[in-house]
C-alpha cells in the first residue's frame, strides 16, 4: 500500500487552478497545435525532446504549463507565477502537485489535458496523476497512480451512453472512468480503489473538472459496495498478469495480487451481486490460453459459473505470446531493454508462464448484463483483431444490445414484416476474376462501429442493397427468390439468420 500522502484537495485552490488552465488555453488540441502531432505522439512513447524543440524559448503560459505539467520538467518560479496568477506556486504545493526548490517550481505530479468525443460533442478534462517514467528518469514506484492511457481512453469510449442512475467504478485510479460515467447524466458514482493515493487523485480531478456526484471508497473489488446495487459497473482493473515472485515489482495500478488471470475471473464471479436487474458491467481484461482451452473458452466458463446468470458479450482484441507480453509490461514499469534488470524481469514472467503452461495471453473487452428476468439470452465470444476507432463504440454497443433485445421478441414472421435500412457507414466490395461477370466474393464493410468485414452470398447482398425502409423483409425475399428462380421458403430459411446477425452487428437497422 502507498505510504506517499497526497493532500486532501482544497476546492477553492482547485477552482483557481482550473481558471488559470482555462485562461491559458491548456487543452489537448491547443497543445497539439503548439508542438505538432508528431511531438504529441512522441510524448506517449516517452520522448519529450520533439515537443521541447517545438516550444523553443517560449515563456508564455501555455509553453510553461506544457513543460511543467505535461512533460514534468522544473520551471522558473517567476514563469509559473505568471502562468498561474490565481493558483500560483503555493497553490500547486498545497495540492501536492509541485514543490518549490530555490527559484524553480519542481513538479510532483502531472496534470494533462484530455479530450473525449462522443455523441454529445467534445469534452475537455484536466487529469492529475503521478509523474511518469520519463519525468522520473527511471522505474516507477510501486504506488504509482497512472494517468490516462490508451486502455483507459478505450474503456471511456466503450461506456454505454444509455441512462444510469448509480454507477460503480471499480479500481478508479486517477478517476477517468468516474468522470466519463457522469458525462451527460445526473448520476451518483461510487469510485473504489485499494490505493488511498489513487482515491485522493480522483477527488482532486473531480474538483478540478467541476464534477459533482463522485464518492470515493477504499477497498478491493466489490467489498466497498457490498449489499448495494448499481445500474452500471465500469472497471479498468489491475488485470496485468504478474509473477508472484519477490523480484517483480507489484505496481498497484496494474497488479491486484492475484495469480494469473484470477482477477478477471473474480470480477465476473462477483459482479452479478452488485448489478440491478438490467444493469450492465463493462471492463477490460486479460485471459490466458492453457490446458487445451483458449482464453475465450475460459472466460465463457467463468460467465457460466457465475452465481447470478449473466448475458455476455466478450471481444478479444489482441493476443500476445508470453515473450511479447513479458516485454510489454517490463517496459511499462520503466525498465527499458538494455537497462540493468530487464532480462531478469522478462525471465520471471517466462518462468511463471512456463510453469502454468500458458501459450498465449488475450486482451479485450467484456460486457456483462444481469437479465431483467429469466435466463440469459446473449452469449457471444469473438475475436476481432482488426484496427478499430474507439470513438463512438459505446453508442454502437448500446444499439447492438437494443437490436438483440428486439430480435429476441421478434419471431421470423415479425422479422419478415419489418422494414430495414442499411447503416450509413456500410459499403460493399465485390471481387471478380479478370473477365468474369459474376463476383467470386462479396463483402460488406463497416466504416465505423467495430469495423467488421462480412462475406455474403449474392442473395443476402441483394437483400441488403434493397433495404431502404420501403419494402418489408418478406417482400424483398419473395422478389429475390423470383429473380433468382429459387424456392422462396428455402431462401427465407437461408436469409433470415443472416439478417438477424447483420442487425445485431450494425450493418442493418430497423427502419
Residue 145 and residue 129 in contact, taking contact as beta carbons nearer than 8 Å: yes
Confidence of residue 3 (pLDDT cuts 50, 70, 90): low
| Domain membership flag for residue 399 | no
**Whole-angstrom distance, CA of residue 325 vs CA of residue 292:** 20
Q: What is the pLDDT of residue 399?
A: 97
**Whole-angstrom distance, CA of residue 440 vs CA of residue 397:** 32
What is the reported pTM?
0.93
Q: Any idea which of 146-150, 234-238, 339-343, 407-411 has the lowest mean pLDDT?
A: 339-343
DSSP string over 458-505: HHHHHHHHH-EEEEEHHHHHHHHHHHHT--HHHHHHHHHHHHHHHHHH
Q: What is the pLDDT of residue 436?
A: 83
Mean pLDDT of 280-291: 96
Q: Are residues 158 and 247 in the same domain?
A: yes
Domain boundary among 301, 336, 368: 368
| Domain membership flag for residue 378 | no
Kindly give the interhelix angle for 473-484 and 488-505, rounded to the nearest 10 degrees: 130
**Whole-angstrom distance, CA of residue 465 vs CA of residue 244:** 55
Question: Above 90 in pLDDT, residue 44?
Answer: no
Domain boundary among 113, 135, 164: 113
According to DSSP H, which parts of 260-337 are helical?
262-271, 295-304, 322-332
Q: Are residues 48 and 184 in the same domain?
A: no
Mean pLDDT of 387-398: 91
Residue 185 and residue 164 in contact, taking contact as beta carbons nearer than 8 Å: yes
* Residues 465, 510, 366, 201, CA torsion sign: positive
CATH code (residue 432): 3.90.930
How many domains does the chain divide into? 3
Three-state secondary structure call for residue 403: helix
* Residues 357, 360, 364, 366, CA torsion sign: negative
Q: Which domain holds residue 211?
A: 146-368
Question: Above 90 in pLDDT, residue 271?
Answer: yes
Q: What is the pLDDT of residue 110?
A: 97
CA nearest neighbour of 342 among 50, 51, 138: 138
pLDDT tens digits, one per residue of 433-483: 998 888 889 999 999 999 999 999 999 999 999 999 999 999 999 999 999
CA nearest neighbour of 98 among 124, 135, 62: 135
Question: Above 90 in pLDDT, residue 159?
Answer: yes
Question: Above 90 in pLDDT, residue 55?
Answer: yes
Strands (E), 334-482: 360-369, 379-383, 419-422, 426-431, 441-446, 453-456, 468-472
| Domain membership flag for residue 82 | yes
How do beta strands 275-289 and 360-369 pair? Answer: antiparallel
Q: What is the pLDDT of residue 155?
A: 94
Q: Are residues 150 and 108 in the same domain?
A: no
Mean pLDDT of 416-434: 95
Amino acid at each position: 500500500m502507498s505510504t506517499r500522502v497526497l493532500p486532501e484537495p482544497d476546492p477553492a485552490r482547485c477552482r483557481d487552478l482550473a481558471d488559470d488552465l482555462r485562461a491559458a488555453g491548456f487543452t489537448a488540441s491547443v497543445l497539439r497545435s503548439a508542438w505538432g502531432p508528431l511531438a504529441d505522439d512522441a510524448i506517449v512513447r516517452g520522448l519529450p525532446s520533439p515537443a521541447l524543440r517545438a516550444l523553443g524559448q517560449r515563456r508564455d503560459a501555455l509553453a510553461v504549463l506544457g513543460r511543467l505539467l505535461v512533460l514534468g520538467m522544473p520551471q522558473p518560479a517567476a514563469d509559473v507565477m505568471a502562468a498561474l496568477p490565481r493558483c500560483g506556486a503555493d497553490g500547486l504545493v498545497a495540492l501536492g502537485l509541485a514543490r518549490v526548490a530555490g527559484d524553480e517550481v519542481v513538479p510532483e505530479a502531472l496534470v494533462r489535458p484530455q479530450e473525449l468525443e462522443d455523441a454529445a460533442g467534445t469534452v475537455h478534462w484536466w487529469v492529475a496523476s503521478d509523474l511518469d517514467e520519463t519525468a522520473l528518469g527511471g522505474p516507477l514506484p510501486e504506488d504509482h497512480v497512472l494517468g490516462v492511457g490508451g486502455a483507459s481512453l478505450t474503456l471511456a469510449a466503450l461506456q454505454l451512453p444509455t441512462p444510469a442512475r448509480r454507477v460503480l467504478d471499480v479500481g478508479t485510479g486517477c478517476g477517468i472512468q468516474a468522470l466519463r460515467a457522469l458525462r451527460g447524466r445526473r448520476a451518483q458514482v461510487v469510485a473504489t480503489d485499494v490505493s488511498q493515493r489513487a482515491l485522493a487523485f480522483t477527488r482532486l480531478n473531480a474538483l478540478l473538472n467541476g464534477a459533482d456526484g463522485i464518492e470515493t471508497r477504499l477497498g478491493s473489488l466489490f467489498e466497498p459496495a457490498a449489499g448495494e446495487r448499481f445500474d452500471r459497473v465500469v472497471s479498468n482493473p489491475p488485470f496485468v498478469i504478474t509473477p508472484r515472485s519477490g523480484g517483480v515489482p507489484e505496481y498497484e495500478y496494474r497488479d491486484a495480487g492475484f495469480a494469473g488471470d484470477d482477477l478477471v475471473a473474480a470480477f465476473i464471479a462477483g459482479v452479478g451481486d452488485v448489478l440491478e436487474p438490467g444493469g450492465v458491467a463493462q471492463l477490460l481484461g486479460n485471459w490466458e490460453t492453457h490446458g487445451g482451452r483458449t482464453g475465450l473458452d475460459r472466460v465463457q466458463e467463468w460467465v457460466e459459473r457465475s452465481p447470478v446468470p449473466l448475458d455476455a458479450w466478450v471481444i478479444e482484441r489482441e493476443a500476445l505470446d508470453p515473450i511479447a507480453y513479458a516485454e510489454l509490461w517490463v517496459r511499462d514499469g520503466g525498465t527499458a531493454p538494455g537497462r540493468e534488470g530487464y532480462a531478469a524481469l522478462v525471465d520471471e514472467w517466462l518462468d511463471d508462464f512456463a510453469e502454468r503452461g500458458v501459450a498465449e495471453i488475450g486482451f479485450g473487452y467484456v460486457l456483462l448484463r444481469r437479465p431483467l428476468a429469466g435466463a440469459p439470452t446473449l452469449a457471444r465470444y469473438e475475436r476481432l483483431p482488426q484496427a478499430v476507432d474507439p470513438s463512438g463504440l459505446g453508442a454502437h454497443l448500446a444499439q447492438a444490445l437494443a437490436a438483440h433485445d428486439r430480435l429476441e421478441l421478434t419471431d421470423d414472421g415479425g422479422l419478415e414484416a419489418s422494414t430495414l435500412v442499411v447503416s450509413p457507414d456500410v459499403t460493399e466490395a465485390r471481387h471478380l476474376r479478370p473477365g468474369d461477370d459474376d463476383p467470386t466474393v462479396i463483402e460488406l464493410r463497416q466504416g465505423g462501429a467495430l469495423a467488421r468485414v462480412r462475406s455474403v452470398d449474392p442473395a443476402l447482398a441483394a437483400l441488403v442493397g434493397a433495404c431502404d425502409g420501403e419494402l418489408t423483409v418478406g417482400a424483398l425475399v419473395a422478389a429475390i427468390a423470383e429473380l433468382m428462380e429459387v424456392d422462396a421458403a428455402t431462401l427465407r430459411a437461408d436469409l433470415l439468420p443472416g439478417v438477424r446477425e447483420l442487425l445485431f452487428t450494425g450493418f442493418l437497422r430497423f427502419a
